[in-house]
A = this chain, B = another copy of it.
């Protein structure tokens, strides 16, 4: 039943129990939340994977419009959950109501955006090379291509986006858009939020008349659950957002299968921000307050949180630092997602504080709350940053490190020393363009998204978005987990040569019954609705 939760495991249409139970914790109070949740384990993986395997042949062959309708229905049912979803998510994550309302809007907006895209051919991406019977020395047969779903997909819910990167988040939306059944491994920090959303998806699947195995939700606290899911031979791809250690462990399991499968793991990123000299000199205070706002947003618990600032010494940097310190001292501590995340944050901050090459610039106010994050800014010099790899490690939360550079060459050196990132940002004025032309080619090879005069928090769901990047930001720089391009991760191309029109998939038939955008003889033809 939508709108109520009972702590069960959702294996297709069935509610399953297990003897082992766990509870969610309210991080704002450390209180245990009811109800108890059944711990999913390998036996539930087997059940859900069997259902997904059975559902796949039907689901992958649905017209794109039917899958789009499913995504729209899921969005509608999530909205219909109303305040109780937001209230539960607040209790389980410590995130404020406004943030969660915004995240819900983004989640349903994303489902609808992908729906609209696949309705016009964005999943099929049909290509048609008509026969050339008169070609010499040999005629060309009729050759057509469409993309189909790769198979059942395992999605790991992230702790930091209980809606947008969790049960009905980007990975689930893109996998369903591709025609792949989804088994979500729900994050144990927000099992109630997960169950609300999982039941909404289940209901949408049932009302669409699709096989129940199109969706299952397995939530549990053990690593064996995730390992069993990735190892299951019926799973054909994995979407994961979380720690570097977690992503690498799943990648190893996937690579060691008799039939290896892709793991799309989004792991760690420190999202460098380069303050170019003219921009810094023009508006040091405004940059400082905007930076602190981006740093402290959501207690800094974003993959795209700006963790590294790179700037040149001088009076402007001094003004920036004074304004940033003031803003930090005025930033109220915010509850972090879990006691474990808060403890890891304190540990990360302590490591920076104890580092001989690092000094603390400013920190947010003290607090009695045990799981709160005090935003913190540290500083180091370019040589230390480039020679101490531990200074590049992500501290998940509102912690940043300023790298003070003597000159532009040192800023270039810092750019070159960076590992793979989700984002890289430059703040620049007109006079900075020549230097930006030096930095940009370096940053392009190190990040999936380059921003100018903005802040990396806030990831737009659109056609041109890349939420991805070179290792270790992700396990696969060829892909994005946000935007319409994310659907490609779960597709494979199939070619049809010489098939009679009646036997072709409808997306490739002569009269284009689904009215899709198609590429004919190498020329893109818009969907009839866009023509």
- List A residues at the B interface (Cβ < 8 Å): 57, 61, 116-117, 120, 122, 127-129, 138, 140-141, 143-145, 148, 150-151, 251-252, 255, 259-260, 262, 433, 436-437, 440-441, 444-445, 447-454, 458, 460, 462-466, 468, 470-472, 475-480, 484-485, 488, 491-500, 502-503, 517, 519, 521-526, 530
Contacts and interface: CB of A to CB of B under 8 A. Distances in A.
A446 B497 CA distance: 15
Contacts of A127: 463-464, 485
A525 B524 contact: yes
A268 to B, nearest CB: 14
9 contacts: A57-B441, A143-B464, A145-B464, A448-B494, A449-B497, A454-B498, A466-B493, A477-B492, A485-B493
Nearest to A113: B522
A390 B255 CA distance: 24
A465 B61 contact: no
B522 A495 contact: no
A150 B524 contact: no
A463 to B, nearest CB: 5
Nearest to A508: B464
Number of this chain's copies in the complex: 2
A195 to B, nearest CB: 29
Contacts of A503: 433, 436-437, 440, 452
B433 A499 contact: no
A208 B470 CA distance: 30
Given A57-B445, A251-B260, 8 more contacts: A129-B460, A140-B462, A143-B462, A151-B445, A437-B503, A452-B500, A478-B491, A517-B523
Contact of A466 (B116, B464, B494, B519): B494
B255 A451 contact: no
Contact of A452 (B460, B475, B497, B517): B497
A140 B460 contact: yes
Nearest to A444: B494
Contacts of A436: 503
A520 to B, nearest CB: 9
Contact of A498 (B129, B452, B476): B452
A494 B449 contact: yes
Nearest to A261: B471
- Ranked nearest first, the 4 interchain pairs of A and B with the lowest CB-CB distance are A524-B524, A466-B495, A145-B464, A255-B255
A464 to B, nearest CB: 4
Contact of A475 (B260, B519, B525): B260
Nearest to A517: B524
Nearest to A489: B478
Contact of A465 (B143, B255, B451, B476): B143
Contact of A145 (B128, B143, B485): B485
Given A150-B478, A462-B140, A493 B448 contact: yes
A478 to B, nearest CB: 5
A208 to B, nearest CB: 20
B449 A495 contact: yes
A260 B433 CA distance: 35
A390 to B, nearest CB: 16
A57 B442 CA distance: 9
A497 B454 contact: yes
Contacts of A122: 522
B478 A492 contact: yes
Contacts of A444: 148, 494
A439 to B, nearest CB: 10
Contacts of A472: 259
A433 B504 CA distance: 11
A145 B485 CA distance: 10
A450 B491 contact: no
A157 B471 CA distance: 28
A251 B258 CA distance: 12
A475 B466 CA distance: 25
A143 B460 contact: yes
B150 A465 contact: no
A165 to B, nearest CB: 18
A495 B525 contact: no
Given A150-B478, A453-B498, A477-B492, A471 B260 contact: yes
A451 B498 CA distance: 6
Nearest to A61: B441
B145 A465 contact: yes
A450 B146 CA distance: 12
A440 to B, nearest CB: 7
B260 A466 contact: no
A433 B259 CA distance: 33
A129 B450 contact: no
A138 B462 CA distance: 14
A499 B492 CA distance: 33
A271 to B, nearest CB: 13
Contacts of A470: 492
A480 B451 contact: no
